[in-house]
A and B are shown apart, each in its own frame.
Chain A
Amino acid sequence: MDLAYLWFFIVGVLFVGYFVLDGFDFGVGMSLPFLGKNEVSRRQIINTIGPVWDLNETWVIVAGACLFAAFPEWYATLFSGFYLALLLILLALIARGVSFEYRHQRNDPKWKARFDWMIVIGSALPALLWGVAVGNIVQGVPIDADFNFTGTLLTLLNPYGLWVGVTTLMLFWLHGVYFIALKTDGQVQQDANGLAKRLAIPTVVFAAGTVVWTWVIAGGRDAPLLWLSVATGAIAAVALLLSVWANWIKREGWAFGFGALTIATAVLSLWTALFPYVMPSTTDDAFSLTIENASSTDLTLTIMSWAALIFLPLVLLYQGWTYWVFRKRVTRAHIEKAEASVH
Chain B
Amino acid sequence: MEFLDPLLLARWQFGLTTLYHFIFVPLTLGMSLFVAIFQSAWYRTADVKYLLLTRFFGKIFLINFAMGIVTGIVQEFQFGMNWSSYSRFVGDVFGAPLAFEGLMAFFFEATFIGLWIFGWDKLPKGLHLATIWITVVGTWLSAYFILAANAFMQNPVGYQMAQDGGRAEMADFVAVLTNPVALTQFPHTIISAIMFSGGVMVAAAAWHLARKQNVEVMRPALKLGLWSVVIAFVGVAVSGDQLGLVMVETQPMKMAAAEALFNSACGADASFSLFSIGTPDGTSEIWSLRVPYLLAFLSTHTLNGCVEGINDLNLAYTTEIFPQFADQVDGNFAPILWVTYWSFRWMMGFGGIAALIAVVGLWVTRKNAKREPAPWMWKVAIWQAPLALLGILVGWIFTEMGRQPWIVFGLMLTEDGVSPNVPGWNVLVSLVAFTLIYLILAVVEFGLIFKAVKKGPDPLPGPDDPHPSDMSVEDTPSTVY
Binding site for B on A (CB under 8 A): 43, 46-47, 50-52, 54-55, 57-58, 60-62, 64-66, 68-70, 72-73, 75-81, 83-84, 86-87, 90-91, 93-95, 97-98, 100-105, 146-150, 296-297, 299-300, 303-304, 307-308, 311-312, 315, 318-319, 322, 325-326, 328, 330, 334-335, 337-338, 341-342
Using an 8 Å CB-CB cutoff, how does the interface string of B98-133 with A read, 1 for contact, 0 for none? 111111101110111111011100110000000000
Contact A47 B479 (CB under 8 A): yes
Residues on the A chain within 8 Å of B88, using CB: 72-73, 76, 147
Contact B92 A80 (CB under 8 A): no
Write 9 A-B pairs (CB below 8 A) sorted by A numbering.
A47-B479, A55-B107, A80-B84, A80-B422, A86-B77, A102-B444, A307-B103, A315-B103, A338-B477
A54 touching B110 in the complex, CB below 8 Å, given contacts A80-B422, A83-B81:
yes
A100 touching B481 in the complex, CB below 8 Å, given contacts A58-B110, A79-B80, A87-B433:
yes
Closest to B474 in A: A337
Closest to A143 in B: B421
Q: In whole Å, how far is A15's beta carbon from the nearest beta carbon of chain B?
A: 13
Q: In whole Å, how far is B442's beta carbon from the nearest beta carbon of chain A?
A: 11
User: Which of B65-73, B189-197, B236-244, B269-277 lines the interface with chain A?
Assistant: B65-73
Q: In whole Å, how far is A55's beta carbon from the nearest beta carbon of chain B?
A: 5
Residues on the A chain within 8 Å of B92, using CB: 69, 72, 296-297, 300
Count chain B residues whose beta carbon lies closer than 8 angstroms to a beta carbon of A.
72
Q: In whole Å, how far is A326's beta carbon from the nearest beta carbon of chain B?
A: 6
Contact B98 A50 (CB under 8 A): no
Contact B110 A55 (CB under 8 A): yes
Contact A76 B80 (CB under 8 A): yes
Interface residues of B in 335-366 (CB under 8 A from A): none
Residues on the A chain within 8 Å of B480, using CB: 50, 104, 338
Q: Does B416 contact A (CB under 8 A)?
A: no
- CB contacts between A and B, total, < 8 Å: 231
Interface residues of B in 393-441 (CB under 8 A from A): 419-422, 426, 429-430, 433, 437, 441
Contact B111 A90 (CB under 8 A): no
Interface centre among B85, B167, B170 (most CB of A within 10 A): B170
Those 10 A-B pairs whose CB atoms lie nearest each other, nearest first: A72-B91, A79-B80, A69-B95, A338-B477, A62-B102, A80-B84, A76-B84, A69-B99, A51-B118, A80-B419
Contact A61 B421 (CB under 8 A): no
Contact B433 A65 (CB under 8 A): no
Contact A65 B91 (CB under 8 A): no
> How distant is the Cα of A47 from the Cα of B480 in the complex, in angstroms?
8
Residues on the A chain within 8 Å of B283, using CB: none
Residues on the A chain within 8 Å of B441, using CB: 94, 98
Q: Does B137 contact A (CB under 8 A)?
A: no
Residues on the A chain within 8 Å of B107, using CB: 55, 58, 62, 311, 315, 319
Which residue of the partner chain, among B76, B91, B419, contacts A64 with CB atoms under 8 Å? B76
> How distant is the Cα of A65 from the Cα of B363 in the complex, in angstroms?
48
